[in-house]
Amino acid sequence: MNKILVGLKRVVDANVRIQVKTDGSGVVTDGVKMAINPFDEIALEEALRIKDKGHATEIVVVGIGPDDVQQQLRTGLAMGADRAILVRADAAVEPLAAARILLKLVERESPSIVLLGKQGIDDDNNQTGQMLAALWDRPQATFASKVELADGVARVTREVDAGLETLDVDLPAVITTDLRLNEPRFVKLPDIMKAKKKPLDTLALDDLGVDATPQFSVLKFAPPASRTKGVLVKDVAGLVSVLRQKGVL
Amino acid sequence: MAKVLIIAEHAHGQLNPSTARSVTCASAMEGAQIDIAVFAADAAAVATQAAALQGVSQVLTVNHPANAEPLAAVLAPQVASLAKDYSHVLAPSTTFGKDLLPRVAALLGVGQLSDIMAVESLSRFRRPVYAGNAIITVEAPRDRTLVATVRIASFQAAEAGGNAMIEAVALDVPLPAHTRLVDRTAVRSDRPDLQTATRVVSGGRALASAENFSLIRSLADKLGAAIGASRAAVDAGYVPSDLQVGQTGKIIAPELYVAVGISGAIQHLTGIKDAGTIVAINKDPDAPIFEVADIGLVGDLFAILPELESTLAAA
Ligand SMILES: Cc1cc2nc3c(=O)[nH]c(=O)nc-3n(C[C@H](O)[C@H](O)[C@H](O)COP(=O)(O)OP(=O)(O)OC[C@H]3O[C@@H](n4cnc5c(N)ncnc54)[C@H](O)[C@@H]3O)c2cc1C
Ligand SMILES: Nc1ncnc2c1ncn2[C@@H]1O[C@H](COP(=O)(O)O)[C@@H](O)[C@H]1O
pLDDT band at B190 (very low <50, low <70, confident <90, very high): confident
Whether the CB of B301 sits within 6 Å of ligand 1: yes
Nearest-angstrom CA–CA distance, A41 and A7: 9
Tens-digit pLDDT profile for residues B294-304: 999 999 999 99
Residues 48-107 of chain A whose Cβ lies under 8 A from any Cβ of chain B:
94-96, 99
The letter for the amino acid at A174 is V
- The terminus-to-terminus CA distance of chain B in angstroms comes to 54
Which residues 186-205 of A are in CB contact (within 8 Å) with B? none
Residue A147: is its pLDDT beyond 90?
yes
Measure the CA–CA gap between A126 and A120, rounded to whole angstroms.
Answer: 7
- Distance in Å, CA A105 to ligand 2 centroid: 14
B111/A124 touch (CB, cutoff 8 Å), yes or no: no
Apex A84 CA angle, A78 and A88, nearest 5: 125
* B214 in the same domain as B118: no
| B101 and B203 fall within a common domain | no
Would you state the torsion angle of the CA atoms of residues B153, A96, A215, B274, taken in this order, to the nearest 10 degrees? 10
pLDDT (average), residues B230-250: 96
Say yes or no: B58 and B148 in one domain.
yes
Q: Is B252 on the interface with A (CB under 8 A)?
A: no
B219 to chain A nearest CA, in Å?
13
Per-position b or e across B121-152, b if 16+ CB within 10 A of its CB: ebbebbbbbbbbbbbbbbebeeeebbbbbbbb
* Å from CA of B205 to ligand 1 middle: 6
pLDDT at B49: 98
The verdict on a CB contact (< 8 Å) between B96 and A161 is yes
- Give the pLDDT confidence of A176-217 residue by residue, as tens digits: 999 999 999 999 999 999 999 999 999 999 999 999 999 999
User: Could you tell me the residue range of the domain that residue B226 belongs to?
Assistant: 199-314
B314 and chain A in contact, CB less than 8 A = no
User: What average pLDDT score do residues A23-48 get?
Assistant: 97
Contacts 24+ apart (CB under 8 A), A243-249: A243/B256, A243/B277, A243/B279, A243/B295, A246/B277, A246/B294, A248/B255, A248/B256, A248/B276, A248/B277, A249/B312
d(CA A195, CA A75): 8
Which of B99, B116, B302 should be substituted to probe chain A, the one whose Cβ sees the most A Cβ atoms within 10 Å? B99
Domain count, chain A: 1
Rounded-to-integer distance, Cα B279 and Cα A248, Å: 11
Give yes or no for residue B244 having a pLDDT over 90: yes
Q: Domain total for chain B?
A: 2
What is the C-alpha radius of gyration for chain B, rounded to an integer number of angstroms?
21
Q: For residue A226, what pLDDT band results from cuts at 50, 70 and 90?
A: confident
Domain boundary residue, one of B121, B151, B168 = B168
Whether residues B159 and B265 share a domain: the answer is no
pTM of this prediction? 0.97
Partners of B141 on chain A (C-beta within 8 Å) are: 215-216
Q: Which B residues, 85 through 104, put their C-beta within 8 Å of a C-beta on chain A?
A: 94-96, 98-104
Per-residue pLDDT, averaged over B232-244, amounts to 97
| Inter-chain residue contact B133 with A17, CB threshold 8 Å | yes
Residue B10 and residue B137 in one domain:
yes
Residues with CB under 6 A from ligand 2: A 7-9, 37, 39-40, 43, 62-65, 93, 95, 98, 116-117, 119-120, 123, 125-129
Residue B144 and residue B221 in one domain: no
Give me the CATH number covering residue B213: 3.40.50.1220
- CATH number of the domain to which A227 belongs: 3.40.50.620
Q: State whether A128 and B102 contact (CB < 8 Å).
A: yes
pLDDT of A136: 98
Confidence category of residue B257, pLDDT binned at 50, 70, 90: very high
Cα–Cα distance for residue pair B176/B297, rounded to 1 Å: 55
Whether B294 is covered by a domain: the verdict is: yes
Domain co-membership, B218 together with B126: no
Residue B178 located in a structural domain: no
In a domain, B179, yes or no: no
Same domain, residue pair B218 and B142: no
Per the CB < 8 Å rule, is B140 touching A215?
Answer: yes
| Torsions phi, psi for A33 (to 5 deg) | -70, 130
Cβ(A51)–Cβ(A43) under 8 Å?
no
Other Cβ atoms within 10 Å of A25 Cβ, number: 10
> Which of B98, B105, B195 lies closest to A96 in CB terms?
B105
Residues B15 and B128 in one domain: yes
pLDDT in tens, B162-177: 999 999 999 999 999 9
By the CB < 8 Å criterion, does A123 face chain B?
A: yes
Domain residue limits at A233: 3-245
Rounded Cα–Cα distance for residues B266 and A10 (Å): 19
State the DSSP string of A180-223. GG--PPPPPHHHHHHHTTS-EEEEEHHHHT-----SSEEEEEEP
Given a cut of 90, is residue A223 above it in pLDDT?
Answer: yes
Judge contact between A58 and A48, C-beta under 8 A: no
Residue from the list B100, B292, B296 with its beta carbon closest to the beta carbon of A227: B292
Is the pLDDT at A146 greater than 70, yes or no? yes
Q: Among A37, A60, A132, A179, which residue has the most ligand 2 atoms within 8 Å of its CB, making it the best to mutate?
A: A37
Averaged confidence pLDDT in chain B: 96
B186 within a domain of the structure (yes/no): no
Written in H, E and C, the secondary structure of chain B is CCEEEEECCEECCEECHHHHHHHHHHHCCCCCEEEEEEEECCCHHHHHHHHCECCEEEEEEEECHHHHCCCHHHHHHHHHHHHCCCCEEEEECCHHHHHHHHHHHHHHCCCEEEEECEECCCCEEEEEEHHHCEEEEEECCCCCCEEEEECHHHCCCCCECCCCEEEECCCCCCCCCCEEEEEEEECCCCCCCCCCCCEEEEECHHHCCCHHHHHHHHHHHHHCCEEEECHHHHHCCCCCHHHEECCCCECCCCCEEEEECCCCCHHHHCCCCCCCEEEEEECCCCCCHHHHCCEEEECCHHHHHHHHHHHHHHC
The CATH number for B133's domain is: 3.40.50.620
Question: Is the model's pLDDT at B276 over the cut of 90?
Answer: yes
Distance between CA B250 and CA B93 in Å, rounded? 10
Q: What are the tens digits of pLDDT across the range A90-102? A: 999 999 999 999 9
One-letter amino acid at B89 equals V
Angle at which helices B72-83 and B95-108 cross, to 10°? 50
Residue A155 contacts B where some CB pair is shorter than 8 Å: yes
Q: Is residue B190 within 8 Å of B247, Cβ to Cβ?
A: no
Q: Does B112 touch chain A (CB under 8 A)?
A: yes
* C-alpha distances out from residue A30 to A219, B228, B307, Å: 21, 36, 49
CA-nearest residue to B282 within chain A is A232
Percentage above 90 pLDDT, chain B: 96
Contact B179 A130 (CB under 8 A): no
Q: Is the pLDDT of residue A1 over 70?
A: no
* Phi-psi label, residue B287: left if phi above 0, alpha if psi -120 to 50, beta otherwise: beta
Closest residue by CA, ligand 1 atom 11 = B230
Tell me, rounded to whole angstroms, the distance of Cα B74 from its chain centroid.
22
Q: Do A230 and B278 touch (CB under 8 A)?
A: yes
Compute the distance from residue A37 Cα to the ligand 2 centre, in Å.
8
B249 within ligand 1 shell (Cβ under 6 A): yes
B211 and B122 in a common domain? no
Ligand 1 atom with the shortest distance to the CA of B248: 8
Cα–Cα nearest to A122, from A212, A35, A215: A35
Q: pLDDT tens, B66-99?
A: 999 999 999 999 999 999 999 999 999 999 999 9
- Among B116, B150, B168, the domain boundary falls at B168
Is the residue at B81 inside a domain?
A: yes
With respect to residue B68, please indicate whether it lies within any of the assigned structural domains: yes
Is B98 touching ligand 1 by the criterion CB < 6 Å? no
* Ligand 2 atom with minimal separation from the A177 CA: 21
**Same domain, yes or no, for B153 and B246?**
no
pLDDT at A229 over 90: no
Q: Do B16 and B151 fall within a single domain?
A: yes
Tell me which chain A residues have a C-beta less than 8 angstroms from the C-beta of B130: 12, 18, 27, 121-122, 124
Q: Of B138, B184, B278, which has the smallest distance from its Cβ to A165's Cβ?
A: B184
